[in-house]
Structure 1
Amino acid sequence: MLTAVDVTGNTILARDAQKKQNYFCPACRQRVCLRLGQIRVQHFSHVQIMTCRAMSEGESVEHLFGKLQLHTYFVSLGYQVTLEKFLPAIQQRPDLVVESQGRCFIIEFQCAPISFETIKKRNTGYARIGLQVFWILGTPYQKQNLRQTTMAKFAQIQQNHLGFYYWVSQPSGGDLQWQEWSQVDGINGKNQMMTPEKIVKKQIYQIQLRLLRSEESLRSLAEKVCQQGRILTGVPWCVHNFEKLPGGLKNDHWLTKLSVLLALEGGAKSIDQLLTVIRQNRWYQFASEDVWQVQLLWLKFVLWQWLRQKIIRYQNGLFFLRIQPKWYSDYQDKQKCFTDFIEFYTQ
């Protein structure tokens, strides 16, 4: 830890502490010792830690150094920043408490693996005393391709976008960066530059492959559209996912878009009614954001796309189909209309 209190109760930064003085943990009031070294960041550690539940021992050099850099960064922006302030009401000690003009929020800088349950518990504690928390990820998280379950631990909505923050540490300081979590079906890190035509071909191929495998998630839907005289690979072009949509869905985006389209084919719907529809799809668990907020954001993106494409209209609090999107009898029939759709879509 980077802070302790002296015998008079004043908070002292480890970098300003002196070796022969007595210092104590702000949480448990047990004695701590000052650790010096040329490799590790100067810090305090408990002489005995068995009775302290608010502190984390064994912090990495990056975590200690990153907290100091973040402290300097937010101070440079004009904020009042307190390192490792103990909050007795919830028995928690965040990395940073940041304050400005009556606003106060928490910064948690994360370098080591951490469970969903631990993040949720910490967030719940801060929420109890009315504090918003921002999780910032260190270098270990930047060096790996994050799994979506990991993204869902830290993802938050900022200015109508879903994502998370990175701290890019440098010897002279650092940089706070925002990483958006968005997806297009059929695209991964190896084929980010695919054209819309290649994207849709891959999406249709994946639908056909999954139908051949008789996947449970598609079987009932395929039967439903078959009863309507349709085939699943013949879904309208507007159901395919050409633009990035917010992450959070476990299943393909086209499946959830199709459920919205089918609902609108049954008549006008309010946004709450459409939310009920998409909640029946599979979503990741979120530790730092309400999942219903993520679902609402995703739905707004889809509705905005369709409003822009003049497929739907909005009137008196309800969304209506403006046109009946065309279903196709086979892939060849569908492919013939692809160019016209893309030209209209990209106007």
Structure 2
Amino acid sequence: MSYNGVINSKYIKRRKDMLVAQFNGQLIQANEIRLERKDKHEKRRYVWPQCQEPVMFKHGHSRIAHFSHFSVSKCPFNENESQVHLEGKIRFKKEFLSMGHEAVLEHSFTQIGQRADVYIPDSQTVVEYQCSPISFSEIKRRTRGYLSVAKRVFWILGARYNTGIYHRDTVARFSRYHQQLGFYFVCYSDKDQYFRLHYQLKEVAGKIIGETQNFLNLKTLLRFVRTSQYSSKKYQVGQNATRRLLLHQLKMIQQSNLNRNRTYLESVTDCYSFRKLFIGCPMICHGNRGSGLPIFNKSVLCWRIWVILRLFDSNRALLSDEFLKGIFNISYEQFGLAFAQIVDNEPFFKAEWRRLIIQLHDQGYIRHTVSGIQILKQPVWFSNYDEKRWHIMTTTQFL
């Protein structure tokens, strides 16, 4: 299945809609109301249970049945929703019911002033369906709020996020981590009615890439996540592909510098302060086939260059554990990507740090001592773009 990510304009018209209301003291779901003459519904007093404000019942040929606040409303839970969002919530509720769970639509947590799209009481799980743009600070606020009253939050993303193009801010806002699947998030295609898992997200030569797998329902997707025996060894970029990616990255860096873009400006300036050329950084900076976890707010290359500059500064031959710890902590503060769904990302950063130190050791740059490391040789910096490009193109073992 494929979906080009284009959203029809009728899907993004914003309304003040909800799927549940209260009538005669009983909760009632809009799509379960028997359709009658319009004047009968106008005489009934539907109210929304969280604010006790009156709401109107609506139904038609182009939109599913729903309730809506009147034009003047002070309800703190009143949010704009699209037709796609409403239909998705109903679909998710049915999915969890089919798995034997109780599922509550639009459950309001009054103590935090938030309304969950779907709430699963027996597992204390909040399910949120995000179709529209949302800031990092807002999604982090909502996630932290839900986690104060529930055990877990499960975000399902809409079509705009289901393109296979991974932006660093999307990873920061929505990705979770699984021991076998790595960094991942889940999307739902309202057009084709399937769920797509985006997983094994990694940064390769400055670009975040990943794998995808489609599922017809949530049950099979969640079973896959729980029982996956996926091996990361299957997911490696070959030598020739790595060469192409590094050449492309090198070209992008050169163009960025020539156009005076701000993408690498801080790193370029940092290299100048050490009398080095950013684009001429040693190949060890592209180590591990130019790949790494998507945990850096700039790129793994910028982080590695920053560390290499400081580890091999001057003629210092011995670096103490205390010095190394200081370098790690400063680099983590400066380059660590904050996540909305992952509370502590420091373990991932430590894993990348250990990987760099091991590569430096294996390639003969350092050796371990009782109290730190000893510098054995200096990494070689290239003098210009063409020299480095030629090295990548012609050297068999360029990493």
Q: TM-score, normalised by structure 2?
A: 0.66
Question: What residue number does 1:3 align with?
Answer: 20
Question: What residue number does 1:121 align with?
Answer: 141
Q: Is it true that 1:169 corresponds to 2:185 in the alignment? A: no
For residues 249-268 of structure 1, the aligned pairs below 5 Å read 249-262=296-309, 267=319
Percent identity (aligned): 23
Aligned residues: 328
In terms of mean alpha carbon deviation, does 322-331 or 111-120 score higher? Answer: 322-331
Mark the runs of 5 or more structure 2 residues left unpaired by the alignment: 1-17, 210-236, 313-317
Alpha-carbon RMSD across the aligned residues, in angstroms, is 4.0
User: Which of 77, 86, 101 is the equivalent residue of 1:79?
Assistant: 101
Contact 1:17 1:34 in 2 (8 A): no
Contact 2:55 2:68 in 1 (8 A): yes
Question: What residue number does 1:45 align with?
Answer: 68
Contact 1:153 1:288 in 2 (8 A): yes
User: Which of 117, 120, 129 is the equivalent residue of 1:95?
Assistant: 117
CA change 1:84–1:276 in 2 (3 A) is same
Q: Deviations over 1:107-148 (max 9, x none)?
A: 110112233343233223223335432322112333595643
Shift of 1:275: 4.0
Aligned with 1:247: secondary structure? coil
Contact 2:130 2:155 in 1 (8 A): yes
Contact 1:236 1:325 in 2 (8 A): no
Q: Deviations over 1:80-106 (max 9, x none)?
A: 321111112112111011244xx3121
Q: TM-score, normalised by structure 1?
A: 0.75
Question: What residue number does 1:345 align with?
Answer: none
CA change 1:219–1:210 in 2 (3 A) is farther
Shift of 1:258: 2.7
Letter in 2 for 1:239: C
Aligned with 1:85: secondary structure? strand
CA separation in 2, counterparts of 1:118 and 1:126? 12
Question: What residue number does 1:281 align with?
Answer: 334
Contact 2:166 2:208 in 1 (8 A): no
Question: What residue number does 2:57 align with?
Answer: 34
Question: What residue number does 1:196 align with?
Answer: 242
CA separation in 1, counterparts of 2:252 and 2:86? 46
Contact 1:5 1:23 in 2 (8 A): yes
Question: What residue number does 1:238 align with?
Answer: 284
CA change 1:178–1:76 in 2 (3 A) is farther
CA separation in 2, counterparts of 1:203 and 1:114? 29
CA separation in 1, counterparts of 2:46 and 2:201? 43
Shift of 1:184: 1.9
CA separation in 1, counterparts of 2:140 and 2:333? 23
Aligned with 2:75: secondary structure? coil
